[in-house]
Chain A
């Protein structure tokens, strides 16, 4: 056994501490390596800090032990064992919530394709005990590790690692030891670029995420299991060593992965301090330094096309926000990039262009994590590239792709919005009081169109800090002459009594009818439901995703915590200025949340008005349609 392994606490699985606790000292645990190498499930790498934190509360398998076993197991190749110990998460991984490990496994399951590759690659590394989280973690972690050097496994790990500096320093001792081993390994695998997902080091409910993350990197193409996986189409062809395509769903708990990604990263991100344990699987960076940094680098933008760079900067600074706007900006930047693209000699257009697009995407992810709709759009683009007949000349291919993008934007976004508006205005009657939350482009169009049709209604705009996007919507509505009421989300239960309909926008709608939208949407929908007010969600069909999500934790985006501590216009409210220095204070700024389908009465899409239970039917039809395109 590797002495470096952090001893793992054996915690009674029934008693689990979730989220915000520092784990007790882990107790070493032996884990049998003969776990099934046949498990096709990708288990998230064990998340345990290098020295001591027990990643998973499950006694049976803890990642470190898992690691060890894997390292030790004969079937593992030496590389594996070397790689293995690496990324233990620095942070106190909340050992707790590992229960999800099993869940994660389950969620990773659909990735059949690359599971096989992984298994193959791992050559018998015990992938997992599906039963225990820790095992899962360990295995996945191992696999990740393995994958990286393994290249052959064909999984390009894409991870954007932003080094989590501060946190990484925490697990010093064992890490250092491991580092030594790793360095040797790395030298050997210089070319290997797969960034693994950061194994979700911290045991927490994040496991689900990690599972996904692990899977994703495994996949050659990383078709995202999770949201916004752009790597769509060509899995096996994507083994491109040169292009590191960071896995979009990389878990950020794994320090080594983070470091790897960071090395590859264009944007220098510094890890945020004082992170919330429950969300350690999501990236979070200091927000001050990125923009000036990138701007300075503008003229060294060799790997990245200038339009893409520009869009990335706009995302970073928040100039472009909102699902449709981001998606359109990104696609138009890709159009420019394709226009200026030339195939290098000795390469095929399809593969090279796909790799290039993937690298752009990873750059954009570094600036700001992708939304689900953007993921779908990227998947579409990649499938179009893959479908290009080989007989086409380069310029024909390029123009065909450009027109495909043009059609996509026109049909799936612009025309879809028109169809949505037509359907939805039939639900607005004279005398209605309509409530909307935040700022959704679809809802705005509906309200304006209904007003133009002469319907008599008034609007209540509910807003929330820190983004206060409702103010922009309010301004635009009032300019056109609608009568509006503006309130903060604190008052939603008060104002709901007079409301007759609620219109909400969505970033995405998942397969089980869950609406994934800006944080606060779930709250508004639930209050509306309890007042028996129908909730109408307006979402274009291209934003639907076949994934299923049960809570808002496993997949989300973290925003700038400083935005919470400061109130614009109120300089005197400065009690939280020193929050970063306080050990037991963490600020959490979530961007998205998930609304269960029970609270949604109807979803308006370009296919018409459907109940939330029919979303899988539309997803199926939609994906079939894509095939025919």
Chain B
């Protein structure tokens, strides 16, 4: 589309994260897909650049992409699995070397998609685990290596189970006859609703359309399959329908140190409306999404660009706000459902301090 072309030139790098999400969940127009595919082309070159440095780099990105293509797999888990693959294919003979290789691989991953919070957070988490265990120098190298791989696999399992744990914890909050507002397609939230439906709870869901991804359409489709009464609302109708809503449940791309969340564009708006009408806002997020960023306002966020398809050509002189996500400050959030338990936003920093300091 004509509108897309200039944006593509201006922002050659669409956040890969959103590409993936789109690929999995979105209603994708063919034009956009073509754009996306052309956008993904630079990637092999970046990995080939680093290819000259180390063999492992190439495989990291490759591995990462391979894992990422699974629709059910969280991006963080894909990253961890890729790093585990680095370890197993590494030719290092000491812990220090292994650590350095891992650090390079993790940096490459992070550089590849600078906008993804959970990717950064998960890599940091894994690196932290590695540096901590490597402190046990006396251990034999191979056994340490296998332990790391085992841990990485376990991490994958944990994060997969995390969704189940979160779903279980949030069941108490969904009562019969309640109306839930959800935004965008979060796999964790979907898990929550799935379990609630499975437990024969009677509730109905208002699903925002989630422009420009329009992921809400996909979610409503899935919920309808579960026989949950779903109502689609356009993003601008959130305030209008907030009266009938009992609670808002959203997922998170990342949870920052202040306790706020980074999520799909529109979450902040919904949280503001909910707060002003005294409706609770619950966030379902796995603990590996806790990141060490501290955001003060929207501009502190590294913007993730996502081109918007308006359906009609936009004149060249008109600028389009293409950021794909926003930051919701902690005062608008009620509780966080995580695999560590049901937490208040202020606990996030405590957890991070204990983990990283």
Contacts and interface: CB of A to CB of B under 8 A. Distances in A.
Given A534-B296, A601-B296, A613-B346, A607 B257 contact: no
A614 B297 contact: no
A609 B294 contact: yes
Contacts of B350: 614, 617
Among A427, A617, A618, A621, chain B packs the most CB atoms within 10 A around the CB of A617
B300 interface: yes
B292 interface: yes
Interface in A580-611: 601-602, 607-611
B300 A610 contact: no
Contacts of A613: 346, 349
Interface string B257-288: 11100000000000000000000000000000
Contact of B354 (A534, A602, A608, A617): A617
B353 interface: yes
Interface residues of A, number: 17
A611 B259 contact: yes
Per DSSP, chain A at the interface is mixed
Interface residues of B, number: 17
Contacts of A611: 257-259, 294, 330, 346, 349
Interface string A535-563: 01000000000000000000000000000
A376 B257 CA distance: 27
Contact of B296 (A602, A607, A610, A614): A602
Given A611-B349, A613-B346, A429 B299 contact: yes
B346 A608 contact: no
B257 to A, nearest CB: 7
Contact of A607 (B299, B330, B357): B357
Given A427-B300, A608-B357, A609-B257, A602 B349 contact: no
Interface in B288-323: 292, 294, 296-297, 299-300
A602 B260 CA distance: 13
Interface string B224-244: 000000000000000000000
A617 B296 CA distance: 21
B181 to A, nearest CB: 25
A614 B346 contact: yes
Interface in A382-434: 427, 429
Interface string A197-224: 0000000000000000000000000000
B257 A617 contact: no
Contact of A614 (B292, B299, B300, B353): B353
A621 B259 contact: no
A290 B257 CA distance: 49
B349 to A, nearest CB: 4
Contacts of B257: 608-611
Contacts of A609: 257, 294
B294 to A, nearest CB: 4
B353 A610 contact: yes
A241 to B, nearest CB: 44
Contacts of B296: 427, 501, 534, 536, 601-602
Nearest to B346: A613
Nearest to B259: A611
Interface in A98-115: none
Contact of A602 (B258, B346, B353): B258
A202 B273 CA distance: 50
B258 A618 contact: no
Contacts of B294: 602, 608-611
B353 A618 contact: yes
B154 to A, nearest CB: 27
A611 B299 CA distance: 19
Contacts of A618: 353
B357 A621 contact: yes
A536 B292 CA distance: 17
A438 to B, nearest CB: 22
Nearest to B347: A613
Interface in B313-340: 330
Contacts of B346: 611, 613-614
Nearest to A614: B349
Given A602-B258, A617-B354, A621-B357, A610 B349 contact: yes
Interface in A284-332: none
Given A429-B299, A534-B296, A607 B259 contact: no
B173 to A, nearest CB: 23
Interface string A605-629: 0011111011001100100000000
Closest 5 CB pairs of A and B: A613-B346, A609-B294, A614-B349, A534-B296, A617-B350
Given A610-B294, A614-B346, 13 more contacts: A427-B300, A534-B296, A602-B296, A608-B353, A610-B257, A610-B353, A611-B258, A613-B349, A614-B353, A617-B349, A617-B353, A618-B353, A621-B353
Interface of A: 427, 429, 501, 534, 536, 601-602, 607-611, 613-614, 617-618, 621
Interface of B: 257-259, 292, 294, 296-297, 299-300, 330, 346, 349-350, 353-354, 356-357
6 contacts: A427-B296, A427-B300, A610-B294, A610-B349, A614-B349, A614-B350
